Homo-oligomer: A and B are copies of this chain.
Amino acid sequence: MDFFYAPGRNHLFVPGPVNIPEPVIRAMNRNNEDYRSPAVPALTKTLLEDVKKIFKTTSGTPFLIPTTGTGAWESALTNTLSPGDKIVSFLIGQFSLLWIDQQQRLNFNVDVIESEWGRGADLDALASKLAADWSHSIKAVCIVHNETATGVTNNLATVRKLLDEHNHPALLLVDGVSSICAIDFRMDEWGVDVALTGSQKALSMPTGMGIVCASPKALEAAKSAKSVRVFFDWNDYLKFYKMGTYWPYTPSIQLLYGFRAALDLLFEEGLDNVIARHSRLGKATRLAVEAWGLKNCTQKEEWFSDTVTAVMVPPHINSSDVVKRAWTRYNLSLGLGLNKVAGKVFRIGHLGNLNDLQLLGCLSGVEMVLRDVGYQVKLGSGVAAAAAYLQNTIPMISSRI
């Protein structure tokens, strides 16, 4: 029942969905249960407590919504804003573009700050807009923490700093889909009002759970937000939280147990160690790209992403051929270039439950693919560059010392 079988493991290096660790697969390998028995609420309670730790919030309220990242976006927006509300949103790549498209279709008044793809959010422009907005017409600033299409990480601390400097009350809504649990994220410290991610990203689960966390200010905003919403309405959740039954509609039992296992693994490794691991894998990837003589789509080091690297191919090469070849010959799954960078970049996702040798295997594969499609990279060059860095930085596995 497999489509297009190939021997050996698939090397999954798209920036989501990512590899699921065996303990999570095991935890999900189960029959359904009555979600109205005492067991499911007892389980859910532990999840809601623990999810706050990975968002680094103590005051936030989490929602585990049976949806995808797109649905989590919609949940963030419709629960806090009213049609016509002015929001500032940064367009820096395909996923920020899709979110802006959603914002517009949800009838918000979106003030788009566009950057060249490969650059981060233009925070100077934000500063100007905030300075000019003495009437506080801007109701929310929406920002993608890590733009998955270009491998650009935005500086959220600065966004918060700007809002504070201008004493601006706008809500700060953050797409943390490809950052939370992989790149340093601090909901409370950075005054994020809504943060969200999806289960299939750094949490290393199957798709199907949109994880949204709302600050007290966001919950307050929800009381007056006039956007139409039912499925995504936080109030329905809050009502059931109060009753202690937690679920306004049926959750996936399997995802709940999978989330429990995923959180246990994260805490066993240590959240800081998880982030350090992503930082290491990100840097190693960039060193390989450099060794190959290729450019990173991300234009400056300050924006380098530790979860995905968008690699620019030379003009005579179509990056789609890289992706296609990787899959048809090496059982290697890479990410396509999207929209403006279609054909120009391919993407290496290096997030989730992943280790160094997996990455090096991928890099060696990319080298062969590049030669296959006509770029005469020196075989072993990227691997060597990455390994030279990794060998000095990989820690011992603490449970095995």
Q: Which residues of A contact B (CB under 8 A)?
A: 1-12, 14, 16-23, 25-40, 42-43, 66-71, 73-74, 83, 101-102, 105-107, 198, 200, 206-208, 227-233, 248-255, 257, 260-261, 264-265, 268-269, 274, 277, 327-333, 335-336, 353-362, 364-365, 367-368, 371-372, 378-381, 383-385, 387-388, 390-391, 394-397, 399-401
From B9, B40, B268, B387, A358 is in contact (CB under 8 Å) with B9
Bound complex: CA of A147 vs CA of B328, how far in Å? 34
From B21, B33, B105, B381, A230 is in contact (CB under 8 Å) with B105
The answer to whether B30 touches A12 (Cβ under 8 A) is no
The answer to whether A8 touches B253 (Cβ under 8 A) is no
Bound complex: CA of A101 vs CA of B248, how far in Å? 13
Copies assembled: 4
**Chain B residues within 8 Å of A31, by CB:** 10, 12, 19-20, 22, 25
From B229, B254, B333, A34 is in contact (CB under 8 Å) with B333
On whether A394 and B67 interact (CB within 8 A), knowing A250-B16, A360-B360, A360-B364, the answer reads: no
Q: Tell me the nearest residue of chain B to A255, going by C-beta.
A: B208
The answer to whether A357 touches B251 (Cβ under 8 A) is no
On whether A387 and B400 interact (CB within 8 A), knowing A26-B29, A32-B17, A257-B1, the answer reads: no
**Chain B residues within 8 Å of A74, by CB:** 230-231
Q: Tell me the nearest residue of chain B to A43, going by C-beta.
A: B3
**Chain B residues within 8 Å of A200, by CB:** 32, 250, 252
From B2, B20, B30, B329, A397 is in contact (CB under 8 Å) with B329
**A170 nearest CB across to chain B (Å):** 22
The answer to whether B17 touches A33 (Cβ under 8 A) is yes
Bound complex: CA of A253 vs CA of B10, how far in Å? 14
Q: Tell me the nearest residue of chain B to A333, going by C-beta.
A: B34
Bound complex: CA of A260 vs CA of B39, how far in Å? 23
The answer to whether A250 touches B6 (Cβ under 8 A) is no
The 10 closest A-B pairs by CB, nearest first: A380-B384, A361-B361, A8-B355, A17-B32, A380-B380, A360-B364, A34-B333, A3-B39, A328-B400, A357-B361
From B38, B83, B248, A4 is in contact (CB under 8 Å) with B38
Q: Tell me the nearest residue of chain B to A380, going by C-beta.
A: B384
**Chain B residues within 8 Å of A254, by CB:** 28, 206
What are 20 sample pairs from A and B whose C-beta atoms fall under 8 A apart? Answer: A1-B27, A1-B257, A1-B260, A2-B23, A3-B42, A6-B400, A8-B354, A9-B9, A9-B358, A10-B31, A12-B32, A19-B32, A26-B29, A26-B30, A34-B335, A105-B228, A206-B254, A329-B397, A368-B391, A380-B380
